[in-house]
Amino acid sequence: MSAGKGRLVLQHGYAIVVSYEYSQSRRAGMVEGFVSGQFAWLPRGSFFGDIELVCQGGVTLQLTITMYSETIVTFTGTRRLPEATEDHRLDQRARRIA
């Protein structure tokens, strides 16, 4: 199980500081968990679009919300792999050449 503080990034670009907990789902490649924070001020449709959870350590999850209230949001999701930087690509090429 992974837990910590992170940012919930909503479809309109809002980023909310949250606490999260998630673990591997029984479905391959999926995670499930919850985030807690203050959600009462958000418009009703805020959880119906593309939502990301940016976790401590840089892990990003692509979420599908299963339930929400004023303080808790539950979800299923998948990990989004970080994009390789140009420095990383150059380093990989140098290793292949050597």
Residue 26 has pLDDT above 90, yes or no: no
Over range 51-57, report the average pLDDT.
91
Report percent pLDDT > 70 for the chain. 82
Higher pLDDT pick, 44 / 93: 44
Supply the pTM of this predicted model: 0.76
Cα–Cα distance measured from residue 86 to residue 29, given in angstroms and rounded to the nearest whole number: 27
Q: How far apart are the first and last CA of the chain?
A: 39
Residue 9 has pLDDT above 60, yes or no: yes
- Strand duo 60-68 + 2-9: pairing: unpaired
Domain segments of the chain as ranges: 2-97
Report percent pLDDT > 90 for the chain. 49
Residue 37 has pLDDT above 90, yes or no: yes
3-state secondary structure of 57: helix
9, with CB counted inside 10 A (0-12, 13-18, 19+), is middle
